[in-house]
Structure 1
Amino acid sequence: MNQLRTMRDLLVHDIQMMYSAEELGLEGLATLVENVSDARLRAAFEKHGVETKRQVARLEQIMELMEIKPSREVCSAMKGLLTDAEKLMRKESTPQVLDAMLLAAAQKMEHYEIACYGTAVQMTEDLGMTQAAELLRQTLDEEKRTDEILTELAKQRVNVKAEVL
């Protein structure tokens, strides 16, 4: 779609970009799991990976409802967040500081997704697409819960261990 003439056109574009972001996010989560040393943080990443697969399925359901297909365009925002995380992982650091960095990278991804899903929920509601809005709201709630879990892990464990060094 080269032109965005209506709110629906914008929503289609955003849904396609969220689909790309979630697909990229799954790859990114796998990298985070491979590199993290804190067991609780690893478990949180793995749990969110399972959730993300359900989120992808929801987006596929929404695309079917809207009669749209995934775009070949890649979500540049998520790609950028993952590129930044990869650059940081190449720097020399202790396992504790690496964990803090991986947690921060994951939260940046979550915050981006929260913004996307929040916007899409409002657009679908404005367009009277109640079924799509409910599916998007489920994902938005999951993303917010994941962010809360990561915040608690940062405050209680990961950042504390990195700070002590």
Structure 2
Amino acid sequence: MNKLQTMNELLAHDIQMLYSAETLGLEAQKLLAESATDSHLKSLFTLHERESQKQVARLEKIMVMMDLKPSREVCSAVKGLMADTEKLLNKESAPEVLDAMLIGAAQKMEHYEIACYGTAVWMTEDLGMTQVADLLRQTLAEEKQANELLNEVAKQRVNPKAEMQA
């Protein structure tokens, strides 16, 4: 899509970017799960990967409802966050510090997705697209929950161990 003259066109672009972000996020979830040393954190990443697969399917349903196709354009924000994570993974780190870094990387992606889904919900509501808004709101709630679970793992398990490395 080469033009953004209407709110509908902007929403279509945002949905396509969310689809790109989520499909890239699936790659990131695998990398995070493989890299994590804490078993609870590893399972949390794996759980969110499965949840992300459902979110991708939900976006595909939304695109059918809106008569859209996935764009060839790549979400540069998530691509950049993934590149930053890969740079950090190449540094020599204590396992406990590595896990704290992975949580931070995951939360940066979650916060981006929360912002994008929140904006898309607002636009769909404004445009009277209640079914699409409901589907997006469901994913938004899941992203917020994933962020909260990461906070809990960080506070209760990972960060105390990482702090002992000082």
Which secondary structure state, in structure 2, belongs to the residue aligned with residue 113 of structure 1? helix
Note the 1:1-20 alignment, pairs <5 A: 1-20=1-20
Deviations 1:121-147 (A, max 9, x none): 000000000000000000000000000
Matches within 5 A, 1:35-114: 35-114=35-114
Deviation of residue 53 (structure 1)? 0.3
The code of the aligned residue for 1:12 comes to A
Unaligned runs of 5+ in 1: none
CA apart distance, 1:49: 0.5
CA deviation after TM superposition for structure 1 residue 65, in Å: 0.2
Structure 2 matches for 1:24-35, cutoff 5 A? 24-35=24-35
Q: Identity over the aligned pairs, expressed in percent?
A: 67
Gaps of 5+ in 2: none
C-alpha distance in 2, partners of 1:5/1:56? 26
Structure 2 distance, partners of 1:59, 1:69, is 10
| Count of residue pairs the alignment pairs up | 165
Instruction: Report the RMSD for the aligned CA atoms in angstroms.
Output: 0.4
Distance 1:69 1:138 in 2: 21
TM-score by length of 2: 0.99
State the shift of 1:102 in Å: 0.5
The TM-score, its normalising length taken from structure 1, stands at 0.99
Which 4+ stretches in 1 moved above 3 angstroms? none
* Alignment deviations for residues 28-77 of structure 1 (CA, whole Å, 9 cap, x no partner): 11001111000110111011001000000000000000000000000000
Distance 1:45 1:34 in 2: 9
